[in-house]
């Protein structure tokens, strides 16, 4: 079985992947460049899995993941979730002083999570976006006036030096990843279910949907809206709820939703991350 993730080595995606594979055998790991690449490969290979980021506790939702699962991931299910702490480091080819750093390179998410640190410590540095934190560390090799923002593993892989650790603006920083496959997970008793739906564009439509969850005493852990891609003002809602699709109360709620939504899709049930 293949499992795909956002490469290269040294990214937080790889860290989440290694956590996922700790108790599993028989996987061949393959790096891909983008989330759409992962979804496309999965759709063509039914026995495989893919790991993608879905949200960060500081910067919020990874919109491309939601959009792909809503619109372009027919047949794929969420099988598992992994949550990892995010600790960013300031990394250079050699130990240098802050005043000698003219350029900072990293992924836009990492730069956003460290914007206050950059403002205070490196206000005159030019900020450059790159595809991943690991690629940023690779790019600063042999550059005496550049630094990257990445994790400690990337510094180790590329034999770079860590100038400062835990530089993210909010120390309680986590990213949630999901594992995609063609089947979701069996009931465990401590599960979550993800669904997406749209409602009629009229007063009280969303209120009526939320009332279904309240009536069945179902807790929502996430609600997010994304453009429907049809016209301005129309949205699709992504909702995470506690419980498994096989739970009686979830079954009852889904039956009720079928009569109140224009579009409804269950993206999967999976063990709640502990």
Distance, in Å, from the CA atom of 239 to the CA atom of 217, rounded to the nearest integer, reads 15
DSSP 188: -
SS3 state of residue 242: strand
Residue 156: which of 130, 171, 134, 128 has the closest Cα? Answer: 134
Q: Quote the pLDDT of residue 180.
A: 97
Distance, in Å, from the CA atom of 31 to the CA atom of 4, rounded to the nearest integer, reads 6
Distance, in Å, from the CA atom of 189 to the CA atom of 106, rounded to the nearest integer, reads 40
Beta carbons of 79 and 268 less than 8 angstroms apart: yes
Phi, psi for 68 (deg, rounded to 5): -65, -40
Q: What share of the chain is helix, strand, coil (3-state, %, to 5)?
A: 30, 35, 40
Over residues 125-148, mean pLDDT:
95
Whether 245 has a pLDDT exceeding 80, the answer reads yes
Separation in Å, CA 93 to CA 64, 102, 122, 123: 32, 13, 17, 20
Write out the DSSP string of 195-224: EEEE--SSTTHHHHHHHHHHHTTPPEEEEE
What the block records as the tokens of 52 is 């993608």
Residue 230 binned pLDDT confidence (cut-offs 50, 70, 90): confident
Distance, in Å, from the CA atom of 191 to the CA atom of 247, rounded to the nearest integer, reads 10
Contacts of 19 (CB under 8 A, 6+ apart): 82, 84
| First-last CA distance in the chain | 26
Whether 23 has a pLDDT exceeding 80, the answer reads no
3-state secondary structure 75-123: CCEEEEEEEEECCCEEEECCCCCHHHCCEEEECHHHHHHCHHHHHHHCC
Beta carbons of 135 and 33 less than 8 angstroms apart: no
User: How many other CB atoms are there within 10 angstroms of residue 214's CB atom?
Assistant: 11
What the block records as the tokens of 256 is 């009720």
pTM above 0.85, yes or no: yes
177-206 tens-digit pLDDT: 999 999 999 999 999 999 999 998 889 999
Share of the chain above pLDDT 70, in %: 100
Arithmetic mean of pLDDT over the chain: 94
């Amino acid at each position: 079985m293949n499992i795909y993730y956002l490469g290269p080595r040294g990214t937080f995606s790889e860290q989440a992947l290694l956590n996922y594979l700790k108790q599993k055998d028989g996987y061949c790991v393959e790096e891909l460049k983008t989330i759409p690449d992962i979804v496309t490969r999965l759709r063509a290979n039914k026995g495989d899995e893919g790991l993608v980021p879905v949200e960060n506790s500081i910067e919020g939702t990874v919109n491309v993941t939601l959009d792909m699962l809503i619109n372009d991931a027919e047949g794929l299910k969420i099988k598992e979730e992994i949550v990892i702490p995010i600790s960013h480091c300031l990394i250079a080819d050699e130990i240098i002083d802050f005043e000698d750093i003219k350029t900072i390179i990293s992924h836009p998410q990492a730069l956003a999570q460290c914007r206050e640190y950059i403002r205070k410590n490196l206000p005159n540095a030019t900020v450059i976006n790159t595809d991943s934190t690991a690629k940023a560390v690779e790019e600063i090799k042999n550059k005496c006036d550049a630094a990257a923002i990445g994790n400690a593993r990337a510094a180790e892989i590329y034999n770079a030096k860590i100038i400062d650790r835990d530089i993210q603006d909010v120390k309680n920083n986590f990213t949630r990843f999901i594992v995609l496959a063609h089947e979701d997970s069996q009931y465990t008793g401590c599960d979550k279910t993800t669904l997406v739906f749209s409602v009629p564009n009229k007063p009280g439509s969303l209120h009526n949907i939320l009332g279904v969850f309240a009536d069945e005493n179902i807790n929502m852990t996430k609600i997010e809206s994304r453009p429907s891609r049809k016209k301005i003002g129309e949205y699709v809602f992504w909702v995470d709820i506690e419980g498994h699709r096989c739970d009686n109360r979830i079954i009852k709620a889904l039956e009720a939703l079928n009569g109140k939504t224009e579009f409804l899709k269950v993206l999967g049930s999976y063990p709640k991350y502990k």
